[in-house]
Structure 1
Amino acid sequence: MIKFLVPVDGSEFADRAVKYLIKMAQCQQPAEIHLVNVRKSIDAWEVRRFLKEHEIAEAQQSEGESDMQSARALLDEAKMDYKAHVLVGPVAPTIAKLAEDLGCDTIVMGTHGRGELANLVIGSVAAKLIHLVKIPITLVK
């Protein structure tokens, strides 16, 4: 069984990666699919002054779930099983650690995420991840 890890952020690029993954996984049954959304930790005292730790954690979980809605809908429509993870930390290292912890065989992701217009060739998370993992990464435009 091949294990796929798919970082998603709610962007069009992430949806394209999920659509590509569906085609790949249908050809390589059985497949184990893991979606992941990584939220940056909130260390700003301005936020922590007004919100309790559990309120911040709940908001991050909710935002992560929201960013995965489109990817989940695509996988549900394709009748594919998957596990969804919302994690907090530095994005690329957190994805790399999850891939290692789960024993993933490959990562499928969009070339860019939301708000990465400055990186016209390849997004910063994808570029960092290439250097952090030893498994193949498929980048989808």
Structure 2
Amino acid sequence: MTNIVLATDGSPFSDAAASFIAEGKLLQSGFTVHVVHVTPDVTGQVRAFVSKETIDAWHQEESGKAMQSVADILGAAGVAFEQHALHGFAPERIVAYAASVDARGIVMGTHGRGSFFDAVIGSVAGRVLAHAPCPVVLVKAPGKK
């Protein structure tokens, strides 16, 4: 079975990427989509006062909320998928996960804010594109130029 990674941040841009997969305009059928969401690691100060179980539950809850809309889109289209809640630095975790499942591609929505904004704050999509072990498809939300 061919694996595709769909990275989501819970935004309409991620929904557009899920719709792109569901519509089958570019990708052939017969693949499993690995929906991934990455929550940031918490600081040492937080870990000093909050239990590991509570932090783990927060990671799961946040990822579950972020993955829900793309799961709904893929499920309604009959696309096979799995959900994976990850935590850490998003570009690194997405790239590492794609490598771990021998993904044939990574699909992501892009906010398309522009190179100046991305140069200042960084772009998850740009970093994934630069380091991915496979092709990366960036999908703009409808109406974005």
Matched with 1:71 is 70
Over 3 Å counting, the alpha-carbon distance change for 1:139 and 1:26 in structure 2 is closer
Shift of 1:104: 0.2
Shift of 1:25: 7.6
Task: Give CA-to-partner distance per residue, 1:74-132, whole Å, 9 cap, x none.
Answer: 1111122201000111100100000000000001101129xxxx339xx7000111111
Matched pairs, number:
135
Shift of 1:11: 0.3
SS in 1 for 2:20: helix
Find the aligned partners of 1:26 and 1:88 in 2 and give their Cα distance.
30
Find the aligned partners of 2:31 and 2:24 in 1 and give their Cα distance.
9
Range 17-26 or range 55-64, more displaced: 17-26
Shift of 1:133: 1.1
Find the aligned partners of 1:25 and 1:48 in 2 and give their Cα distance.
45
Question: What TM-score comes out, normalization by structure 2 length?
Answer: 0.85
Matched with 2:7 is 7
- Residue 40 of structure 2 corresponds to residue 53 of structure 1: no
Q: Contact conserved, 1:14 with 1:71, CA < 8 A, in 2?
A: yes
Find the aligned partners of 2:61 and 2:102 in 1 and give their Cα distance.
26
Letter in 2 for 1:132: H
Find the aligned partners of 1:27 and 1:128 in 2 and give their Cα distance.
23
Find the aligned partners of 2:107 and 2:27 in 1 and give their Cα distance.
15
Letter in 2 for 1:106: G
Shift of 1:54: 1.0
* Gap regions ≥5 residues in structure 2: 141-145
Letter in 2 for 1:60: H
Letter in 1 for 2:63: G
Range 19-28 or range 99-108, more displaced: 19-28
Matched with 1:39 is 39
Q: Contact conserved, 2:98 with 2:133, CA < 8 A, in 1?
A: no
Find the aligned partners of 1:74 and 1:89 in 2 and give their Cα distance.
26
Question: What TM-score comes out, normalization by structure 1 length?
Answer: 0.87
